[in-house]
Structure 1
Amino acid sequence: MSTRVGRGPRVGRIPREEHFDRDWRVHAIAPDFHVEDVWALPFTGTADDFDTLMSYVGGSHHGKDHPLMVRFLWTVRHRLGRALGWDTEDSGSADWTESLRERLPGDLRDGPRGPVFPHAPFSPLYLLDNEFAAEIANRTMHGVMHLSWVRDGEGYRGQMAVLVKPNGWLGTAYMSAIKPFRHLLVYPAMLRQWKHRQ
């Protein structure tokens, strides 16, 4: 059974506690990361539908499929980062260049990594039956996108958590500056797109 759109109130930002209520593997891998926010995704289905969600979300990361506002903000961020040297390996300390794959236990390191997003700066870490994590690192911060498939009533739904480890004062200031854009523009636009394309 393929995923379907969730029409109820569970779509959108939800309490961060809902990420910690479940025993995800990412808890042990990134304990020093802050959970910035958690989102209920507009996908529901059965216990076996996480792979369908992953196929859809992975495919939607192609640049042409992003909402116009999201593409515009990504372009601005990319050009700003290139101009200020935020995204080059010689622009900061080695702390942010160390991949979280170095922390993975053997079963996750040797298992499937999940989809590669050719038009988004995320590197997959691991993929399980109900959990996926990918990382992004630059001079401002080290972040993790965590996707999961959680029990909700009689079925299951998609959930996304954003974990962040800012790099010094620059990272803290950067995350504070982009928070309104993420909460009001980027993620709502992506959720609307996913909902309408179903």
Structure 2
Amino acid sequence: MRLPESAHTSRPWRIHDIAPDFRIEDVWALPTPGGPDDFPRLVRQVASGKNSSEFSVIYRALFAIRWKLGALLGWDKDDTGVGARVPSLHDRLPADLRDVPPGPVFEGAPFRSVYRTDSEWVSEIANRTMHGVMHIGWVPDETGGYRGQMAVLVKPNGVFGKLYMAGILPFRYLLVYPALMRGVARRWQAQTDDPVVE
């Protein structure tokens, strides 16, 4: 379920001080009901490239097209990424976050972990179109349990980046996010039913 920006901005996340120059693109409640200690499980699930077949054909096809276009047009070359075109957010971290493990390495996705706390995990991606942040949090829900919450923060790269973000907006809301939420829910439920699957 899509949430208002205030669902992200009202929480005392560390990201607010680290990336104040990024705009909030989306905030979503993740279909991942759990208890107070389930955040590490969510982090592992998001970072893992396993079971991508649980996501719809349309979802996988859209991303395949995007990566193919990126390769053809040079959007995703090494010199456009984190540490090349833009410095990593890791360079902005205060000492208490800089000196701890940043989080898992992604399997099959071009994201890079920046930092992780007990209830907050941040990863980043950059290319010729933008510098993006995926913020995953673990929040209390209305039933007395907990659930994941995802915020996407973006700093577009100039006019082209702004046009690109505006151009993909309908695809994100109509195709990408609904498919993503269904896939997240299926994977979460499968791990709930069979906890050995991580």
Shorter-chain TM-score tier: 0.7 to 0.9
Separation in 2, partners of 1:91, 1:55: 27
In proportion to residue count, which structure has more strand?
Answer: 1
* Deviation of 1:61 (Å): 6.0
Greater Cα shift, 175-184 or 107-116:
107-116
1:159 corresponds to 2:149: yes
Aligned to 1:180: 170
Q: How does 1:98-109 map to 2 (within 5 A)?
A: 98-109=87-98
Q: Say what the alpha-carbon RMSD is for the aligned residues.
A: 1.9
Q: Does the residue aligned with 1:117 lie in a helix, a strand or coil?
A: coil
Length, aligned pairs only: 186
Separation in 2, partners of 1:66, 1:123: 22
Partner AA of 1:22 in structure 2: R
8 Å contact from structure 1 (residues 124, 134) kept in 2: yes
Structure 2: runs of 5+ lacking an equivalent: 190-198
Q: Percent identity?
A: 54
Which one of 16, 21, 24 corresponds to residue 27 of structure 1?
A: 16
Could you state the TM-score of these two structures normalised by the residue count of structure 2? 0.87
1:120 corresponds to 2:109: yes
Structure 1: runs of 5+ lacking an equivalent: 1-11
Q: How does 1:44-193 map to 2 (within 5 A)?
A: 44-60=33-49, 63-90=52-79, 96-153=85-142, 154-193=144-183
Separation in 1, partners of 2:76, 2:21: 22
* Deviation of 1:91 (Å): 5.5
Could you state the TM-score of these two structures normalised by the residue count of structure 1? 0.87
Q: Does the residue aligned with 1:38 lie in a helix, a strand or coil?
A: strand
Q: Deviations over 1:103-150 (max 9, x none)?
A: 111111111211211211100101111000000001110000000001
